[in-house]
Amino acid sequence: LSGLKTTLFGKNIHYYDEAGSSNDIAKKLAPTAEEGTIVVVEQQTGGRGRLGRQWASPKGGIWFSTILKPRIALSAASRLTLTFGLSVTKALREFGFDAKIKWPNDVLVNGKKVCGILTEVDAEIDTVEFVVIGIGINANMSLKDIPEELRENSTTLRDEGGKSIDRVEFLQKLLFEMEQEYIRFSTRPFSEIMEEIITLSDTIGREVTVNMPNRIAEGTVVGISKTGALLLKRTDGEIEEIIAGRCIYTKK
Ligand code: BTN
């Protein structure tokens, strides 16, 4: 990554041809690692997704994790996931893709998922010690390289763009976007980042089912709050603010 224009993100890089999960390696390194250290894995044999799911990680994708040590409360950690979803979206748009954000943290190209983010936090009482941000991008591969049961409504950059992308150039651009957003996150009101996320959101106006740990809510998304919560107009007419959950579109 010799063309890197960042001072923090990617200053230290750990690269593996093959490993279980870059998030697991990053979590082990985190206590002694410098903030901004990244772990890049060419092929993950135990890639993990949110909610305990598997994440297919064949060769050709971009699978990496970033170690951060923000001075934030545990409850604010999910804001980082939203923030880096914005960075991925911006980097993809610079590469000419029609990228949008699906709440809370998927990035879609042409309406299909190309990127997932898995944030893992280590906290002491309510203070964050470190955060590992795992980002997976289906880049130079085809949907055929993903097992059928894990395909969901996914796609790959190669399938959408008709050609492979320069992954090194893309990662440099992405790390630059991530560093910019992280500086903004640390120095500006979060509502500033949220405003931009809202303009790039694919989810507002959608009819959805939201799965939460103990229940399900159904309705139409009428907005996203400045704190990052989904504003759902439920079928009974009530507006509900949902802080975390899995969002499924019920209509295309
Ligand atoms: C999701 O949408 O469920 C999140 C997927 C996150 C995948 C990335 S790939 C790099 C990092 N290492 C992992 O094992 N998972 C994340």
C-alpha dihedral, 132 to 137 to 143 to 148, nearest 10°: 10
Residue nearest atom 15 in ligand 1 by C-alpha distance = 48
Ligand 1 neighbour 119 (Cβ under 6 A):
no
Which is more confidently placed, 51 or 155?
Answer: 155
pLDDT for 252 beyond 80: no
pLDDT in tens, 55-100: 999 999 999 999 999 999 998 998 999 999 999 999 999 999 999 9
Q: Does 207-249 match 13-199 at the fold level?
A: no
CA of 196 relative to ligand 1 center, distance in Å: 24
Domain boundaries, the chain: 13-199, 207-249
pLDDT for 108 beyond 90: yes
pLDDT for 126 beyond 90: no
Q: Specify which residues 221 forms β-bridges with.
A: 232
pLDDT at residue 120, rounded to an integer = 96
Ligand 1 neighbour 81 (Cβ under 6 A):
no
CA of 239 relative to ligand 1 center, distance in Å: 31
HEC letters along the chain: CCCCCCCCCCCCEEEEEEECCHHHHHHHHCCCCCCCCEEEEEEECCCECHHHCECCCCCCCEEEEEEECCCCEHHHHHHHHHHHHHHHHHHHHHCCCCEEEECCCEEEECCEEEEEEEEEEEEECCEEEEEEEEEEECCCCCHHHCCHHHCCCECCHHHHHCCCCCHHHHHHHHHHHHHHHHHHHHHCCHHHHHHHHHHCECCCCCEEEEECCCCEEEEEEEEECCCCCEEEEECCCCEEEECCCEEEECCC
**ipTM of model:** 0.99
pLDDT at residue 116, rounded to an integer = 96
CA of 49 relative to ligand 1 center, distance in Å: 5
Q: What CATH number labels 13-199?
A: 3.30.930.10
Classify burial at 223, counting beta carbons within 10 Å of its beta carbon; exposed 0-12, middle 13-18, buried 19 or more: middle
Sheet order of strands, 216-224 included: 239-242, 230-234, 216-224, 207-211, 246-249
Classify burial at 20, counting beta carbons within 10 Å of its beta carbon; exposed 0-12, middle 13-18, buried 19 or more: middle
Q: Report the mean per-residue pLDDT for the chain.
A: 95
Atom of ligand 1 nearest to the CA of 116: 2
pLDDT in tens, 127-169: 899 999 999 999 999 999 999 988 889 999 999 999 999 999 9
CATH topology of domain 207-249: SH3 type barrels. (2.30.30)
pLDDT at residue 251, rounded to an integer = 82
Residue nearest atom 3 in ligand 1 by C-alpha distance = 49
pLDDT at residue 114, rounded to an integer = 98
pLDDT for 196 beyond 90: yes
pLDDT at residue 3, rounded to an integer = 87
